[in-house]
Amino acid sequence: MENKISMEDKIVYQTEIQRDMPRKVQNTVQNTVQNTVQNTVQNTVQNKIQVQTRKDRAAQIMEIKMRRAEDSGSIVFIPVGGMKGQEFGKNLLALNKHVRILKSSAVFGDIESIKRQLTDIENARDEMWGKIKAVIPRFSSFSPKRWSEINNSRDEKIRLAQRRISYVITPTDDTTGSIIMAAKVLSEKIIESQASSSLDELSELIGTYRMFNEKITNILNDGGKTDVQDAANTESVADAQEAIEPPEARTKTGKKK
């Protein structure tokens, strides 16, 4: 009985305190509670929207990649090397776009500048394949112009394209196709060699891989700064895949299918 009375007294005491509390303080407490609840609800809703947006975008990008993978002229490139590898993939996308822009602007552009840039890209291709032949002997007699002969089958490309870090690129022309294929061949060789080769051989392959990326970066910095910035500003492989290339698959001549 004493405990019951004590509890009742406590409730009465608390009620009296609340009655004596200034109205301004009560309003402040109520507003604080309401704002906290509203902010919590808004943040929860916004987070759900952002998560769903990312999922929708990822699904859209995957659909684009799968459609491109079915194009007989496309190449699926899976980079090695963490963030630096992702940079390489974005640079390949940017290079492909850069060459397409150069060729489409030839009618009204500076012909000599365009020819010089295209020649630099061809020289880079020859140098890259020269290094490939030096570090991977089975390509010693291979002609870069035959890059499509060593491309993956349609089914294999579709399988590889499902990997989130993959880049599916339809080359603008044979020059960009052979450059992208050189990067692909070297990347696959590094993956193969990580488990079976000596550290010296692996070091040489990695050095060549870095040299390839630096060479492409230099080409873009010389004539395609906007493309490099676009690639650097993308937040993920999916963003790069959509931001740098249009959704439609293209043939090797650069025309839409």
So where are the chain's domains?
A: 60-244
User: Measured between alpha carbons, how far is 83 from 87 in angstroms, rounded to an integer?
Assistant: 6
Binned at pLDDT 50, 70 and 90, residue 42 comes out as confident
CA angle 126, 96, 233 (to 5 degrees): 120
pLDDT given for residue 13 in this prediction: 54
pLDDT at 146 over 80: yes
Q: What is the mean pLDDT of residues 162-176?
A: 93
What pTM did the predictor assign?
Answer: 0.69
Give me the chain's average pLDDT, please: 79
Name which residue leads in pLDDT, 223 or 225. Answer: 223
Give per-residue pLDDT as tens, 59-108.
888 888 999 999 999 999 999 987 768 899 999 999 999 999 998 887 77
Share of residues in the chain with pLDDT > 90 (%): 44
Task: Rounding to the nearest 10 degrees, give the CA dihedral for residues 61, 66, 68, 73.
Answer: 150
Q: Roughly what angle, to the nearest 10 degrees, separates helices 199-223 and 111-135?
A: 180
CA dihedral 87, 157, 196, 199 (to 10 degrees): -20
> Cα 88 vs. chain centroid, distance in angstroms?
10
Q: Rounded to 5 degrees, what angle do the CA atoms 153, 248, 171 make?
A: 55
